[in-house]
């Protein structure tokens, strides 16, 4: 069997480099084609990396924590008796930093060598660095380059992750009951901003419940060591890619915007009626918008289109990207063939995509191939906004909140539910009228929502 190289895979269209989170196989392990070798952090998600050859994982050339360009050699799979010296020596050539780029340990004995040569092998996940156990200020975590108050260091030396976050209680350790932690995790409450009312400031269940019931109020300013005026936070992968790509859209793509107000009264009651049915997935306003857009895109393929330089590519299927806000950026998982899906299907699949996007559990194909996108900031009570097109798509719809507003009726003033839609269009692909007609159809579908059901 041939020697096979393990290369940093290109897991999404935009991926240029990947960070190895951890190896799930160690040197000397036998692997089958298709086994999960390692977890890799790409610009958009944490992805499992599969083996493309069978044999023994003879060599790991990039340890956990290394970031390497796509296509770099990161490991070697071969039979135990095969000579891999030639292949392994290619390592480092395209690859970047690689402090762990491996002295030539005789391969099969590698597992045994691990304990005696910690520097030569990837750090074992979950095992704490022995240095971190030493309670000295010098070992305080340095990740975000905020000067850590020295007093906090000894208490936090064993828990580097918690040290950077201001926390109630003593010495930076977050004091919270197990139940409070679980409820917080399930309700999305950040324990760092919760006031603990238990003994010694411990966060208990009632504190989390109160925090999740109250509107999310972040503390005005987190306590910071005196004298610190700012901190430089390293870009997350996702923030870096957004920073790089958005100017590539906004500057070269000539945007124009069309807006329309949609009467959501009927859409709202339809949704309520649907959600009262038992055993049905709960339908959100965004699901209605998704369905309306898919149907309108079929009618207006000119909007469902991409500028290709010499031509315009028009799509006949609606693969819609759904912008999902993350802690450190946003991500746009793609719901495919929305035109062929019922509202219930859309609701279930969109929710699943969004949840997995937040957990960084999307698979690579789920993050590319959109023909159109929707960005909804209604949950933040945004009335209207305009979004930046995600190239090579030709348009993106920005959705505002459904608000109760005074409306003029035949008899005078009444209360109606209204929602603002703003379409950003690539002028190279379409003109104002085309965008406007599309938007008009979306509006009609939402205002006569039974059309969404047929």
Partner 1 sequence: MTRTFDVVVVGSGPGGYVSAIRCAQLGLGVAVVEDDRPGGVCLNWGCIPTKALLRNAEVLNLVQHASDFGITVGEVRADYAQAVQRSRAVADRMAKGVEFLFRKNKVTLVPGTGTLKNARTVEVKGGAGTETLEAGRAVILATGSKPRSLPGVSIDEKLVISSNGAVRNESRPASIVVIGAGAVGVEFADVYAAYGAQVTLLEALPRVLPIEDEDAGALITRLFGRRGITIKTGVKVSAVKPGGPGAIVETDGGRFEAQQVLMAVGRAARTDGIGLEAAGVQMERGFVKISPTMETTAKGVYAIGDMAGAPLLAHKAMAEGVVAAEAIAGQHPRPIDYGNVPSCTYCRPQVASIGASEAKTKENGREVTVGKFPFTASGKAVAMGETDGFVKVVADKATGEILGVHIVGPEATEIIHEFAVGRTLEATLEEIMHTIHAHPTLSEAALEATLAALGQAIHI
* Contact between residue 25 and residue 59 where contact means Cβ atoms under 8 Å apart: no
Instruction: State in angstroms the smallest separation of the CB of 354 from partner 1.
Output: 20
CB closer to partner 1, 37 vs 183: 183
CB closer to partner 1, 130 vs 199: 199
> DSSP code of 151?
G
Instruction: State in angstroms the smallest separation of the CB of 275 from partner 1.
Output: 19
Q: Which of residues 381-400 bind partner 1 (CB under 8 A)?
A: none
Under the binding rule (CB under 8 A), the answer on residue 226 touching partner 1 is no
Distance from CA of residue 316 to its chain's centroid? Answer: 28
CB closer to partner 1, 199 vs 412: 199
Under the binding rule (CB under 8 A), the answer on residue 194 touching partner 1 is no
* Contact between residue 305 and residue 394 where contact means Cβ atoms under 8 Å apart: yes
Q: Count residues contacting partner 1 (CB under 8 A)?
A: 10
- 157 Cβ contact list (under 8 Å, min separation 6): 132, 133, 134, 135, 136, 139, 140
Instruction: State in angstroms the smallest separation of the CB of 324 from partner 1.
Output: 23
Q: Kindly tell me which residue out of 179, 216, 222, 225 binds partner 1, with binding defined by CB under 8 A.
A: 179
Under the binding rule (CB under 8 A), the answer on residue 292 touching partner 1 is no
Q: Kindly tell me which residue out of 199, 200, 227, 234 binds partner 1, with binding defined by CB under 8 A.
A: 199
Write down the H helix ranges in 306-383: 343-358
Q: Of all helices (H) and strands (E), which one includes residue 56?
A: strand 55-60
Which residue in 411, 413, 422, 421 sits closest to 447, CA to CA? 421
Q: SS3 for 367?
A: helix
Under the binding rule (CB under 8 A), the answer on residue 130 touching partner 1 is no
Under the binding rule (CB under 8 A), the answer on residue 182 touching partner 1 is yes
Instruction: State in angstroms the smallest separation of the CB of 209 from partner 1.
Output: 11
What residues are paired with 414 via a beta bridge?
A: 407
Q: Kindly tell me which residue out of 90, 177, 259, 345 binds partner 1, with binding defined by CB under 8 A.
A: 177
Q: Give the tokens for residue 115.
A: 């304990």
Angle (CA) 180 184 186, round 5°: 120
Helix axes 205-213, 178-187, angle to 10 degrees: 20
Angle (CA) 330 176 380, round 5°: 30
Q: Is 142 left (phi over 0), alpha (psi -120 to 50) or beta?
A: alpha
Q: Kindly tell me which residue out of 22, 192, 205, 437 binds partner 1, with binding defined by CB under 8 A.
A: 205
What residues are paired with 259 via a beta bridge?
A: 422
CB closer to partner 1, 175 vs 271: 175
- CA distance linking residue 378 with residue 271, whole number of Å: 16
Under the binding rule (CB under 8 A), the answer on residue 200 touching partner 1 is no
CB closer to partner 1, 177 vs 440: 177
Interface mask toward partner 1 for 137-176; x: CB under 8 A: ----------------------------------------
Instruction: State in angstroms the smallest separation of the CB of 106 from partner 1.
Output: 40
What residues are paired with 23 via a beta bridge?
A: 38
Under the binding rule (CB under 8 A), the answer on residue 134 touching partner 1 is no
Can 255 be counted among the known catalytic residues? no
| Contact stretch for partner 1 (CB under 8 A) within 179-187, 302-310, 396-404, 427-435 | 179-187
- CA distance linking residue 158 with residue 333, whole number of Å: 37
Instruction: State in angstroms the smallest separation of the CB of 182 from partner 1.
Output: 5
| Contact stretch for partner 1 (CB under 8 A) within 34-42, 181-189, 275-283, 433-441 | 181-189
Under the binding rule (CB under 8 A), the answer on residue 345 touching partner 1 is no
Distance from CA of residue 394 to its chain's centroid? Answer: 22
Under the binding rule (CB under 8 A), the answer on residue 211 touching partner 1 is no
Which residue in 172, 173, 171, 204 sits closest to 189, CA to CA? 204
Instruction: State in angstroms the smallest separation of the CB of 187 from partner 1.
Output: 10
CB closer to partner 1, 178 vs 226: 178
> DSSP code of 122?
P
- CA distance linking residue 239 with residue 328, whole number of Å: 7
CB closer to partner 1, 199 vs 309: 199
Under the binding rule (CB under 8 A), the answer on residue 210 touching partner 1 is no
Residues contributing to the site for partner 1 (CB under 8 A): 177-180, 182-183, 186, 199, 204-205
> Which of the residues are catalytic?
427
């Amino acid at each position: 069997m041939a020697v096979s190289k393990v290369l940093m895979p290109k897991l999404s269209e935009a991926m240029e480099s990947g960070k190895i989170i951890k190896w799930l196989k160690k040197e000397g392990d036998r692997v089958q084609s298709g086994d999960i070798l390692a977890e890799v952090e790409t610009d958009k998600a944490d992805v499992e990396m599969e083996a493309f050859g069978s044999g023994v994982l003879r060599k790991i050339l990039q340890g956990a924590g290394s970031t390497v360009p796509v296509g770099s050699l990161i490991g070697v799979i071969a039979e135990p008796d095969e000579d891999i010296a030639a292949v392994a020596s290619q390592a480092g050539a395209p690859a970047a930093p690689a402090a762990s780029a491996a002295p030539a340990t005789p391969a099969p004995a590698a597992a045994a060598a691990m304990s005696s040569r910690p520097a030569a092998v990837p750090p074992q996940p979950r095992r704490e660095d022995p240095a971190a156990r030493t309670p000295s200020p010098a070992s305080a975590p340095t990740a975000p380059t905020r000067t850590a108050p020295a007093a906090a260091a000894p208490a936090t030396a064993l828990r580097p992750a918690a040290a950077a976050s201001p926390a109630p209680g003593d010495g930076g350790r977050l004091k919270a009951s197990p139940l409070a932690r679980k409820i917080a995790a399930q309700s999305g409450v950040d324990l760092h901003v919760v006031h603990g009312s238990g003994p010694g400031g411990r966060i208990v269940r009632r504190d989390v419940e109160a925090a999740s019931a109250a509107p999310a109020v972040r503390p005005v300013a987190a306590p910071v060591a005196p004298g610190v005026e700012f901190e430089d936070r390293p870009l997350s992968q996702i923030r870096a890619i957004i920073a790089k790509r958005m100017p590539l859209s906004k500057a070269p793509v000539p945007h124009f915007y069309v807006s329309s107000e949609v009467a959501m009264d009927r859409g709202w009651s339809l949704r309520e009626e649907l959600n009262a049915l038992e055993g049905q997935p709960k339908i959100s306003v965004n699901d209605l918008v998704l369905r309306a857009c898919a149907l309108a895109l079929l009618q207006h393929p000119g909007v469902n289109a991409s500028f290709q330089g010499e031509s315009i590519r028009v799509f006949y299927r609606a693969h819609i990207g759904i912008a999902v806000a993350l802690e450190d950026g946003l991500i746009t998982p793609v719901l495919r063939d929305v035109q062929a899906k019922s509202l219930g299907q859309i609701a279930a699949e969109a929710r699943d995509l969004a949840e997995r996007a937040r957990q960084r559990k999307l698979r690579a194909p789920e993050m590319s191939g959109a023909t159109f996108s929707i960005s909804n900031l209604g949950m933040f009570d945004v009335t209207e906004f305009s979004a930046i097109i995600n190239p090579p798509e030709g348009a993106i719809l920005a959705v505002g909140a459904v608000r109760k507003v005074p409306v003029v009726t035949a008899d005078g003033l009444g209360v109606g539910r209204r929602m603002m839609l703003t379409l950003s269009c690539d002028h190279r692909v379409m003109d104002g009228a085309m965008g406007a007609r599309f938007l008009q159809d979306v509006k009609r579908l939402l205002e006569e929502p039974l059309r969404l059901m047929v």
